[in-house]
């Protein structure tokens, strides 16, 4: 993950791993594919997970209910019980996309009463909104370790 640079991507098949440092914290990012056949394998990536970053396509109204059920399913995993959740409402640069507030409602994020979570609108294409999300996550993780 390189902030400030545009990277051509394709849907993830399986998983991709990337390590990066941000605000003196080292992150190992697992980008796991969202296809139906791959979702059952998500649990294997949760051991020693300190945080969950969940990216939602704000322009895909047809699949937001699926995104909600998958988020709630994975957030219920025992290994993620104390992990903060950062939701990125991606594609905010696309006209007609749902706002971060609409995504929050559609995902029923308010149900995570006992969890630390935050949602940020972003555009992975332009980079807008990525830094505030990472700032929040870095601060949250640093405060947890303190």
Residue 90 · residue 122 · CB < 8 Å: yes
State the binding site for Mg(2+).
Answer: 12
3-class state of residue 76 by DSSP: coil
State the binding site.
Answer: 12, 34, 90-93
Residue 11 CB burial class (10 angstroms; 0-12, 13-18, ≥19): exposed
Q: Exactly one of 9, 16, 17, 35 is catalytic; which is it?
A: 35
Q: What single-letter DSSP state applies at residue 93? A: T
State the binding site for GTP.
Answer: 34, 90-93
| Catalytic annotation present for 118 | no
For residue 40, give Cα distances in angstroms to 44, 97, 116: 9, 28, 25
d(CA 76, CA 63): 20
Residue 93 CB burial class (10 angstroms; 0-12, 13-18, ≥19): middle
C-alpha radius of gyration, the chain, whole number: 15
Catalytic residues: 35
């Amino acid at each position: 993950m390189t902030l400030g640079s545009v990277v051509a991507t394709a849907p993830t098949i399986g998983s991709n791993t990337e390590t990066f440092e941000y605000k003196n914290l080292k992150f190992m990012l697992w980008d796991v594919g969202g296809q139906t056949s791959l979702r059952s394998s998500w649990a294997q990536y949760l051991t020693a997970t300190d945080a969950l970053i969940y990216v939602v396509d704000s322009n895909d109204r047809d699949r937001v209910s699926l995104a909600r059920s998958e988020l709630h399913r994975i957030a219920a995993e025992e290994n993620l019980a104390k992990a903060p959740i950062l939701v990125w409402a991606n594609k905010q640069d696309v006209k007609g996309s749902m706002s971060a507030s609409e995504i929050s409602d559609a995902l029923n994020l308010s149900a995570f009463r006992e969890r630390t979570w935050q949602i940020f609108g972003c555009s992975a294409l332009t980079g807008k909104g990525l830094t505030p999300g990472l700032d929040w996550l870095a601060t949250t993780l640093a405060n947890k370790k303190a």
